[in-house]
């Protein structure tokens, strides 16, 4: 904010503050002075009018007394009606009454009552003879001059009042009463006189019953003797303390004693807020009330306030303009200095009004010029340094930017990683296998939910304890040695099957796998153990084994019996047989033999299908096995006069293979070739070692010149129980299982089988067994 | 005179072996269940015992086990229709030297083996 603005603002604030406070003070003062002025007017008004009314009443009383003292009155009242003079004196008195009536327009009636209370003369002759002995004119008038309060005259049909005075003879004895009745119109005039305090100012009279005697400003004549003015103003006026004071000391004295208490701030007969006062009229017991609406009083003070503020506003504008002008002039040099500083700090000041000034401003300018000189010099040095450093900063910023980008990439990656981790955690938590993580000493760090299902123990029962406590059946010492050797010394995964006991003592079978997790120094960080409950699988396995055992045993027993007894018959144990008998028994023996083979094949297939057959590799000379098989089949081959050739290279190594399985493969190959090759056809079996191959293997080939495999059925040849159409025709008794068994064994042991065939020309089966041998497979059964 | 015990619950089979051995001049006796087999093995002294594995009352493995416990040193030859590896291995682990799967061998092969063994 500019200095000039500050100065102007400060001055204006002070001015406004002063003005407002003085304004408030003046306003309060004015209002109260106006109010007291109004009060004063009001009281003066009521006082003067009350005095006027009293004077008026007293004048009328005097008139009454004077009239009553007239000799013609006395003479008239002394004279008896029966006297001869009565008529003339009556005439006189009538004239006098008429004169009196005419003399004053406000007099409405004049009459005379005799000492018995009967009207003896009246301006209204019809009234003569009327009895007034009970009227206040008579009862009061007998004693003294009496003013009868206003009342509605039934005769005149208007409100009037009257004055009665006793007529006395020389001794002071009562002769009669003189009565004059007036129209109260004069009071209206006196009361109505306006002082100009406001449009609502009014005065009116009320009688001692508080009924209006004069018209109301707002309701007019209708209120007279008809409406009560029962206000605080009225009740204060009739307060005996006040009336007494007025009677004894007069209005001015009352005001000086009561002060502002003679004023009433209350509501009037309309219910409007008013300021008013009152004066008691002792002669009649009336009360004069003068009042003004409060709004009129306030309006008066408002007008004054307005004038005051107009004056203030005017002077404020003049003050403000001159203040701005003066402050501008006073702060101009400072502003110039500031502008110069802003515009160009390199330049010395050369503003015309500046250097030769003799005041403080001049000193200031000179000092600045001096200072700028030295600042400029040092600034040039600084700028050079800054330029150098800026270059460095830019380079560093570039580096930082690159680092930031790299960091953002890392963060993005880690976000993905965190998501992945969450997924993994969820997966591990909910896996059906029990997963344990332990530290290198076997203390459990983590266990997933499956622990409760598999072992019955809760996660919290396990964490922090040795994982071994979960194995509740003691394991053999060699088992533990083997386990620890594998995972801790060799740092490999251990896999095995154990029997265990659940928390509820139930025994279950489980497959365990314990793997060490290594850090970058190849040290064990922790172990991950996975345990699968295989109780159910074991049960199924047992059931299958039992079935196979039973089937094999039960089927084979009768077959054995047939086999042995036919054999005994043929060997002559039962005596010599005729050639025909021998022939028949041979048929039985052959069929039985086929049945034995069929049972064996079915058992093998069931084991292959169940995956329960074992692979038990041993160092094996396959050529030797082949020779045994060839010997077994020699009889059949020779029986069909087939040309059989067996070749093998010299370098066939001993490989690790299951003897039984190899035998089954070769048996099936050869028996098929023998079966489906016609008489005098040729069969060749060869074994070779193939080393120039990604997977070095032994190649076994069986080539025949048999019926071949029909083209459309080639894709079905390895299916279980499938038999090609031509094979069916040639040999009705085949099982359709041989090739299926071969393929199943080779699939399971890492080998393969394929063939080439042309229908009617022959087939070549090619089998490969890896030189690395067959992997060991535990299983309950071998094949037969 | 050599004495052979045939432990075989299937009477036709036991009789076939018995007849064959008899023809070869080898004296044999028959036990028709596991209990009887164990009783005879422990009571009498035999030169060779042909043992079926699946028998009523007591199976062949149990007979083998009890015989060993009783200190019987006679050679046991298994002839059974259980052809699975596990059975053969189990039997061999209990000291059996020869394991015949009955349906797969001619009776002559068993008799030849008995003859050969008894001779040596």
With tokens 């020699």, the residue in question is: A634
Q: Which CATH class is domain A430-533?
A: alpha beta
Share of chain A above pLDDT 70, in %: 95
pLDDT score recorded for residue A352: 44
Q: Which CATH architecture has domain A534-611?
A: Orthogonal Bundle (1.10)
> Is residue A635 within 8 angstroms of chain B, CB to CB?
no
Residues in CB range of A108: below 8 A, 6 or more apart: A153, A156, A158, A160, A181, A182, A183
CATH fold of A30-315 reads Beta-Lactamase (3.30.450)
List the structure tokens of A337: 């200095």
At residue A459, does pLDDT exceed 60?
Answer: yes
Interface contact flag, B82 A560, Cβ < 8 Å? no
Q: For A193-206, how does the pLDDT look when each residue is reduced to its tens digit (9 = 90+)?
A: 666 777 888 889 99
In a mutational test of the B interface, the residue from A552, A553, A562, A564 whose CB has the highest number of chain B CBs within 10 Å is: A564
CA distances from A160 to A156, A163, A224, A553, B77 (A): 9, 11, 11, 158, 170
> Is residue A81 within 8 angstroms of chain B, CB to CB?
no
Q: Which residues of B touch A559 (CB under 8 A)?
A: 103
Interface contact flag, A564 B13, Cβ < 8 Å? yes
A385 confidence band (pLDDT: 50, 70, 90) = very high
At residue A373, does pLDDT exceed 50?
Answer: yes
pLDDT score recorded for residue A358: 74
Residues of chain B with pLDDT under 50: none
pLDDT score recorded for residue A600: 81
Integer Rg of chain B from CA: 13
Interface contact flag, B85 A781, Cβ < 8 Å? yes
Mean pLDDT of A98-127: 86
pLDDT score recorded for residue A346: 55
| A30-315 and A534-611 have identical folds | no
Query: What is the rounded distance in angstroms from the CA atom of residue A234 to the CA atom of residue A49?
Result: 17
Interface contact flag, B83 A603, Cβ < 8 Å? yes
Integer Rg of chain A from CA: 75
Interface contact flag, A571 B102, Cβ < 8 Å? no
Mean pLDDT of A267-281: 88
Query: What is the rounded distance in angstroms from the CA atom of residue A17 to the CA atom of residue A456?
Result: 88
A514 confidence band (pLDDT: 50, 70, 90) = very high
Mean pLDDT of A234-250: 85
Q: HSE (CB half, 13 Å, CA atoms) of A229?
A: 35
pLDDT score recorded for residue A723: 84
At residue A353, does pLDDT exceed 60?
Answer: no
Mean pLDDT of A649-667: 89
Interface contact flag, A782 B84, Cβ < 8 Å? yes
Query: What is the rounded distance in angstroms from the CA atom of residue B40 to the CA atom of residue B28?
Result: 12
Extents of the domains making up chain A: 30-315, 430-533, 534-611, 613-784
Mean pLDDT of A485-514: 88
Interface contact flag, A600 B104, Cβ < 8 Å? yes
Interface contact flag, A568 B19, Cβ < 8 Å? yes
Q: Which residues of A touch B19 (CB under 8 A)?
A: 568, 573
Q: Which of A567, A596, A781 sits opposite B84 (nearest CB)?
A: A781
Q: For A298-320, how does the pLDDT look when each residue is reduced to its tens digit (9 = 90+)?
A: 776 677 778 877 888 888 889 88
CA distances from A518 to A80, A428, A522, A527, A528 (A): 164, 20, 5, 9, 11
A764 confidence band (pLDDT: 50, 70, 90) = very high
User: How much is the mean pLDDT over chain A?
Assistant: 85
> Is residue B94 within 8 angstroms of chain A, CB to CB?
no
Query: What is the rounded distance in angstroms from the CA atom of residue A123 to the CA atom of residue A109?
Result: 6
> Going from the N-terminus, what domains does chain B have, and what CATH number goes with each?
3-115 (3.40.50.2300)
Q: Which of A11-25, A44-58, A539-553, A662-676 has the lowest mean pLDDT?
A: A539-553
pLDDT score recorded for residue A140: 87
**Residue B119 burial (10 A CB sphere; 0-12, 13-18, 19+):** exposed
Q: Which of B10, B85, B101 sits opposite A616 (nearest CB)?
A: B85
> Is residue A614 within 8 angstroms of chain B, CB to CB?
yes
Greatest mean pLDDT range, A90-104, A268-282, A677-691, A770-784 = A677-691
Q: Which CATH architecture has domain A613-784?
A: 2-Layer Sandwich (3.30)
Q: For A151-165, how does the pLDDT look when each residue is reduced to its tens digit (9 = 90+)?
A: 988 888 889 999 999
Q: What is the pTM of this model?
A: 0.39
Q: For A18-58, how does the pLDDT look when each residue is reduced to its tens digit (9 = 90+)?
A: 878 887 887 788 778 877 888 888 888 888 888 888 898 88
pLDDT score recorded for residue A345: 53
At residue A549, does pLDDT exceed 90?
Answer: no
The residue count for chain A: 784
Interface contact flag, A568 B10, Cβ < 8 Å? no
**CA nearest B17 in A: which residue?**
A564
Residues in CB range of A594: below 8 A, 6 or more apart: A733
A93 confidence band (pLDDT: 50, 70, 90) = confident
B105 CA: distance to closest CA in chain A (Å):
9
């Amino acid at each position: 904010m500019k200095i000039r603005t500050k100065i102007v603002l400060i001055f204006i604030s002070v001015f406004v503050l002063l003005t407002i406070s003085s304004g408030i003070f003046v306003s309060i003062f004015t209002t109260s002075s106006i109010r007291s002025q109004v009060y004063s007017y009001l009281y003066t008004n009521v006082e003067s009018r009350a005095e006027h009314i009293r004077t008026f009443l007293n004048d009328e009383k005097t008139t009454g007394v004077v009239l009553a003292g007239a000799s013609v009155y006395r003479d008239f009242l002394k004279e008896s009606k029966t006297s001869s003079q009565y008529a003339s004196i009556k005439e006189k008195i009538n004239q006098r009454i008429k004169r009196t009536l005419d003399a004053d327009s406000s007099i409405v009636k004049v009459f005379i009552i005799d000492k018995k209370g009967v009207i003896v003369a009246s301006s209204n002759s019809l009234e003569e003879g009327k009895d007034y002995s009970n009227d206040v004119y008579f009862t009061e008038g007998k004693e003294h001059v009496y003013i009868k309060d206003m009342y509605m005259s039934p005769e005149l049909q208007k409100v009037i009042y009257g004055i009665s005075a006793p007529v006395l003879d020389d001794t002071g004895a009562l002769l009669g009463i003189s009565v004059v009745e007036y129209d109260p119109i004069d009071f209206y005039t006196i009361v109505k006189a306006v002082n100009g305090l406001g449009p609502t100012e009014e005065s009116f009279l009320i009688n001692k019953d508080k009924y209006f005697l004069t018209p109301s400003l707002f309701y007019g004549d209708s209120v007279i003797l008809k409406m009560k003015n029962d206000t605080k103003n009225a009740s204060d006026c009739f307060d005996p303390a006040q009336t007494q004071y007025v009677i004894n000391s007069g209005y001015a004295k009352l005001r000086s004693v009561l002060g502002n208490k003679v004023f009433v701030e209350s509501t009037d007969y309309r219910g409007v807020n008013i300021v008013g006062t009152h004066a008691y009229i002792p002669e009649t017991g009336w009360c004069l009330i003068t009042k003004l609406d409060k709004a009129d009083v306030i309006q008066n003070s408002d007008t004054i306030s307005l004038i005051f503020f107009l004056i203030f506003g005017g002077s404020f504008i003049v003050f403000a303009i001159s203040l701005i002008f003066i402050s501008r002039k006073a702060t101009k040099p400072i502003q110039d200095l500031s502008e110069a500083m802003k515009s160009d700090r390199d330049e010395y000041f050369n503003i015309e009004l500046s250097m030769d000034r003799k005041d403080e401003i001049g000193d200031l300018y000179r000092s600045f010029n001096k200072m700028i000189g030295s600042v400029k010099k040092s600034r040039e040095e600084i700028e050079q340094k800054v330029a150098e450093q800026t270059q460095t900063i830019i380079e560093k910023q570039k580096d930082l930017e690159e680092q930031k980008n790299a960091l953002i990439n890392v963060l993005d990656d880690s976000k993905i990683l965190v998501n992945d981790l969450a997924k993994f955690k969820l997966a591990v938590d909910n896996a059906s296998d029990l997963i344990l993580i332990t530290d290198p000493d076997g203390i459990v760090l983590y266990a997933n939910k499956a622990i409760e299902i598999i072992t019955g123990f809760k996660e919290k029962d396990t964490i922090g304890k040795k994982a071994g406590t979960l194995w509740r059946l003691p394991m053999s010492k060699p088992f533990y040695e083997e386990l620890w050797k594998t995972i801790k010394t060799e740092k490999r995964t251990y896999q095995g099957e154990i029997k265990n006991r659940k928390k509820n003592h139930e025994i279950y079978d489980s497959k365990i796998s314990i793997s060490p997790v290594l850090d970058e120094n190849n040290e064990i960080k922790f172990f991950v153990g996975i345990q699968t409950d295989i109780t159910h699988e074991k049960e199924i396995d047992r059931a299958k084994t039992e079935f196979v055992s039973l089937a094999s045993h039960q089927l084979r027993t009768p077959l054995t019996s047939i086999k042995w007894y036919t054999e005994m018959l043929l060997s002559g144990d039962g005596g010599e047989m005729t050639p025909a008998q021998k022939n028949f028994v041979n048929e039985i023996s052959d069929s039985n033999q086929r049945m034995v083979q069929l049972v064996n094949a079915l058992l093998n297939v069931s084991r292959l299908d169940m995956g329960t057959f074992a692979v038990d590799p041993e160092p094996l000379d396959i050529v030797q096995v082949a020779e045994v098989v060839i010997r077994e089949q020699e009889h059949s081959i020779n029986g069909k006069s087939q040309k059989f050739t067996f070749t093998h290279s010299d370098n066939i190594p001993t490989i690790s293979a299951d003897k039984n399985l190899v035998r089954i493969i070769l048996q099936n190959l050869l028996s098929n070739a023998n079966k489906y090759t016609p008489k005098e056809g040729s069969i060749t079996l060869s074994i070779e070692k193939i080393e120039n191959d990604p997977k070095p293997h032994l190649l076994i080939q069986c080539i025949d010149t048999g019926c071949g495999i029909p083209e459309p059925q080639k894709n079905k040849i390895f299916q279980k129980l499938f038999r090609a159409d031509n094979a069916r025709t040639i040999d009705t008794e085949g099982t359709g299982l041989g090739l299926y068994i071969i393929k199943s064994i080779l699939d399971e042991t890492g080998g393969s089988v394929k063939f080439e065939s042309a229908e009617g020309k022959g087939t070549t089966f090619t089998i490969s067994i890896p030189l690395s041998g067959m992997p060991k497979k535990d299983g309950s059964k071998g094949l037969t | 005179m050599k004495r052979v015990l045939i432990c075989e619950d299937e009477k036709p089979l036991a009789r076939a072996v018995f007849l064959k051995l008899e023809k070869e001049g080898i004296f044999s006796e028959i036990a028709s269940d596991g209990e009887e087999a164990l009783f005879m093995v422990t009571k009498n002294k035999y030169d060779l015992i042909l043992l079926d594995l699946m028998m009523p009352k007591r199976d062949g493995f149990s007979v083998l086990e009890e015989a060993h416990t009783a200190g019987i040193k006679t050679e046991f030859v298994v002839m059974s229709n259980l052809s699975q590896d596990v059975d053969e291995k189990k039997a061999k682990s209990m000291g059996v030297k020869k394991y015949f799967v009955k349906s797969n061998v001619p009776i002559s092969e068993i008799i030849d083996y008995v003859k050969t063994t008894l001779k040596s």
